[in-house]
Amino acid sequence: MAHRMGIIGYGRWGENWHHTCTERVEGLSCTAVYDPDPDRRRVAAEKGLLPYDTVEEFLREGDFDIVTVATPNNYHKDMSIAAMANGRHVVCEKPVAMNTAELTDMMAAAEKYHVLFSAHQNRRWDKDYQIIRKVLEDGLIGQPYVIESRMNGAGLQSGGILREWRSYTFAGGGLLYDWGSHLIDQILFLVNKKVVNVYACLRQIKCPEADDYFKIILKFENGLLAQIESGSYCVQPMFRWYVHGDAGSVYIENLDSRAGKVLHTKREKTDYFPLTIRTAEGPVQKMHPAGSDVLEEMPLPEIQSDWTSFYMNFMAAIDGKEALIVHPEQSLRVMKVIDACFLSSASGRVVEGEI
Ligand SMILES: NC(=O)c1ccc[n+]([C@@H]2O[C@H](COP(=O)([O-])OP(=O)(O)OC[C@H]3O[C@@H](n4cnc5c(N)ncnc54)[C@H](O)[C@@H]3O)[C@@H](O)[C@H]2O)c1
């Protein structure tokens, strides 16, 4: 069945979604926009959308069954609930809310008004992430025990790269909300075990108010550690993914997923002890790289993946043909981890629990 979408917040991402959906998602069209900024409404009108200057009018008159909320983060809750109360299905941009309490209210509204609600976690369809999933599912590195996921940029602009509302905490700015919401969602969906410890440190390196660097360590119930890092001023790039299992390692250098390798240990070494190599600092015993006699090097698996699958699934869920892939209960876990990260960073302590 064909569906129509109205967009609340026609900024950079709202416009991008309009373009993606119109050009690439079969069965979905965009019809209307609400944005308080007259310049953005003018751009929307130029692209053939009906622009509204009040949300009430947009919801009362707009011809759509799906609303996408792409405003600054502090408006996600109110805009989503207003749309749901009007009987529209809602896709809300990430981070879906500012905290767990807000998200709980949004989930209650979806139940009350019998509509579908999902967070736009499009990066579950990123190829680099899907490749890591495949390597782990196929057991190519055995049981993973540590996962490093990183998204850094070398933002050399003075004052950093966080601009406008993204640089203010009241508006939901900062990298933990911005990239953390993607990276945490990916890890939770990848590991699929309970988180029992959260440690996080948020810093302001160039941005005066909001966090523009964070490091998070999650410990899962099976002992697996995940380290998630994002910084907007990290001049030397590091691997996007770096994962060790009990039968090998995998790394992916960056988002475009071409550079990387799977290293699988064919067998354990029997002539283990004591191997010594000589370095400028003196002899080093045991801690050297594995040799080709025990290692099998494999290219990264080929994966086909596309962000548009998110909307195809959302529409199929409205039509009762599929279950939602990004379910609000999963978003609730992400939000609980984000809450725990803020708490851990403010207190300097590990937050314990079961998430
Ligand atoms: N899923 C992703 O990969 C992805 C990527 C980029 C941005 N986003 C998300 O999209 C959202 C918007 O980001 P952006 O980069 O487009 O920001 P932006 O500043 O470019 O656009 C925000 C728009 O919202 C409008 N706006 C402000 N207050 C509003 C209100 N109360 N009601 C309706 N509209 C309002 C602004 O006028 C502006 O046009 C954020 O939540 C962000 O996290 C998601």
Q: Residues enclosing ligand 1, CB less than 6 A? A: 8-14, 34-37, 40, 70-73, 75, 79, 93-94, 120, 122, 164-165, 178
Q: How many angstroms separate the alpha carbon of residue 237 from the centre of ligand 1?
A: 28
Q: pTM for the full model?
A: 0.95
User: DSSP for 248-279?
Assistant: EEEEE-STT--SEEEEEESS--SS-TT-EEEE
pLDDT at 269: 61
Pocket test for ligand 1, best of 54, 71, 161 (most atoms within 8 A of CB): 71
- Minimum CA distance residue for ligand 1 atom 31: 75
Counts of helices then strands in the chain (DSSP H, E): 10, 17
Q: pLDDT value at position 162?
A: 86
* CA 296 to ligand 1 centroid distance, Å: 46
| CA separation for the pair 332, 97 (Å, rounded) | 10
Taking the CA of residue 79 as reference, the ligand 1 atom at the shortest distance is: 32
CA dihedral 116, 117, 120, 125 (to 10 degrees): -50
Ligand 1 atom with the smallest distance to the CA of 178 is 43
Kindly give the distance from the C-alpha atom of residue 9 to the centroid of ligand 1, in angstroms, as a whole number.
6
User: Using CA positions, which residue lies closest to atom 11 of ligand 1?
Assistant: 70
Name the residue at shortest CA distance from atom 27 of ligand 1.
71
Q: Whose CA is nearest to atom 7 of ligand 1?
A: 13
The protein residue whose alpha carbon is closest to atom 29 in ligand 1 is: 71
Centre of ligand 1 to C-alpha 335, Å, is 19
Strands 195-203 and 28-34 turn out to be unpaired
For 196, other C-beta atoms within 10 Å of its C-beta total 17
Which residue has tokens 């939901």? Answer: 172
Beta bridge partners of 202: 214
Could you tell me the distance, in angstroms and rounded to a whole number, from the CA of residue 11 to the centre of ligand 1? 5
What element of type H or E holds 12?
A: helix 12-24
Q: Cα of 208 to ligand 1 centre, how many Å?
A: 21
pLDDT of 285 reads 74
Tell me whether residue 67 is exposed, middle or buried, using C-beta atoms within 10 angstroms of its C-beta: 0 to 12, 13 to 18, 19 or more: buried
The residue to which tokens 């790269």 are assigned: 161
Cβ atoms within 10 Å, residue 60: 10
Q: What's the confidence (pLDDT) of residue 163?
A: 87
Exposure string (b/e) for 94-127, b if CB count within 10 Å is 16 or more? bbbbbebebbeebbebbeebebbbbbbbbbbbbb
Q: Output the pLDDT for position 319.
A: 97
Q: Give the position of tokens 């099998």.
A: 296
- 8 Å CB contact between 260 and 253: yes
| Ligand 1 pocket mutation pick from 34, 35, 52, 182 by most atoms within 8 angstroms of CB | 35
Q: Which one-letter amino acid corresponds to residue 301?
A: P
CA of 29 to the centre of ligand 1 (A): 20
Task: Give average pLDDT by consecutive 10-residue segment, the chain, 355 residues.
Answer: 95 90 89 98 96 98 97 98 98 98 98 98 96 96 97 80 91 97 98 97 94 97 98 92 96 87 79 70 75 85 92 97 97 98 98 96
- The maximal CA–CA distance of the chain, rounded, in angstroms, is 77
Closest-CA residue, ligand 1 atom 6, reads 13
Cα-based torsion angle of the residue sequence 99, 100, 104, 105 in order, rounded to the nearest 10 degrees: -30
- The residue with tokens 């799906």 is 66
Q: How far is the CA of 281 from the centre of ligand 1 (A)?
A: 53
Distance 19 CA to ligand 1 centre (A): 15
CA of 179 to the centre of ligand 1 (A): 14
